Amino acid sequence: MEPIPPITSLQNERVKLAHTLQHRPRSRRKHLKIVVEGDRLLRDALDRRQKPDFVLYTPEGANEKLIDILTRNKAILLPVSAEVMAHVSATEEPQGILGVFPIPMPPLPKRPRRVVIFDSLGDPGNVGGLLRSAAGAGVDVAILSPNCADPYNPKALRAGMGAHFRLPVVEASWEDIVGYIEGLTVFAADASGTVDYDRADWTGRWALIIGSEAHGLSEKAREVATQLVRIPMAAETESLNAMVAAAVILYEAARQARNIP
């Protein structure tokens, strides 16, 4: 069989779709699709039994083993020129392969035990990194309140390192959030909290609110929280950023859960 000639036109419909998904949040919402770029993220998606709508790759740059896996999974593989890949890539140094996938929508747990709530986090890298920590710590669901960065932004997807395929990610109003977490102890991370994070009881069902670095907890988050927890810091030390603080607290919660008799 003759090899398929690479796509060289930026006006190709699939090339145009991949480009707009990379750069426009409204397009991601309209089509309910995202772009997963690079070997690692594509493998994570495939490992979670996600199927791409199509894959663009440069024949000289793509990993042959990954191409073989995609071929066995009957993915639509479309070779493109280096110029086309540079156009659709969201990185300065394209990895030579990306796939267009449906936005993952796993079912929400009806009775969650561990919920993390992002309160107006504006940095997509922090959103993705926090999702990665949440997935690693065994969180059941991540909820983004209004005014958070887009969790499907390319930076968030890269920082999440496959977390988007490992736990449900939901964007919701505070009204819906309050209804969903009813019955849970609601902690919020705050530098002025009255309880040290490792003194709090994480052995029950809980939700943890993480606020914006720039503005701290919103007024609504403070209304919802039943307990403010803090991470003790050495004198004259700057507070941890939101992503690091969340990881510290979440892994303490996971440690306590493991030690339940």
Residues 115-167 have pLDDT tens digits of 999 999 999 999 999 999 999 999 999 999 999 999 999 999 999 999 999 99
Q: Is the pLDDT of residue 3 over 80?
A: no
- Indicate the Cα dihedral angle 147, 148, 153, 158, nearest 10°: 170
Nearest to 44 by CA among 170, 141, 131: 131
Q: What sign does the CA torsion over 90, 91, 92, 98 have?
A: negative
Give the pLDDT of residue 259: 79
Give the pLDDT of residue 61: 81
| Structural domain 13-102, CATH architecture | 2-Layer Sandwich (3.30)
Mean pLDDT, residues 72-87 taken together: 95
Give the pLDDT of residue 239: 66
Mean pLDDT of the chain: 93
Q: Is the pLDDT of residue 77 over 60?
A: yes
Give the pLDDT of residue 235: 60
Q: Is the pLDDT of residue 104 over 80?
A: yes
Q: Tell me the fold of 114-258.
A: Alpha/beta knot (3.40.1280)
Give the pLDDT of residue 191: 87
- pLDDT tier for residue 85 given thresholds of 50, 70 and 90: very high
Q: Is the pLDDT of residue 261 over 60?
A: no
What is the per-residue pLDDT across 233-247, written as a single tens digit (0 to 9) for each? 876 566 677 888 899
pTM as predicted = 0.91
In the sheet that 206-211 helps form, which strands lie side by side, from edge to edge? 169-171, 141-144, 114-119, 206-211, 185-189, 227-230, 195-196
- CATH 3.40.1280.10 boundaries in the chain: 114-258
Q: Is the pLDDT of residue 2 over 70?
A: no
d(CA 109, CA 248): 24
- pLDDT tier for residue 100 given thresholds of 50, 70 and 90: very high
Q: Is the pLDDT of residue 75 over 90?
A: yes
Q: Is the pLDDT of residue 1 over 60?
A: no
- CATH 3.30.1330.30 boundaries in the chain: 13-102
- pLDDT tier for residue 199 given thresholds of 50, 70 and 90: very high
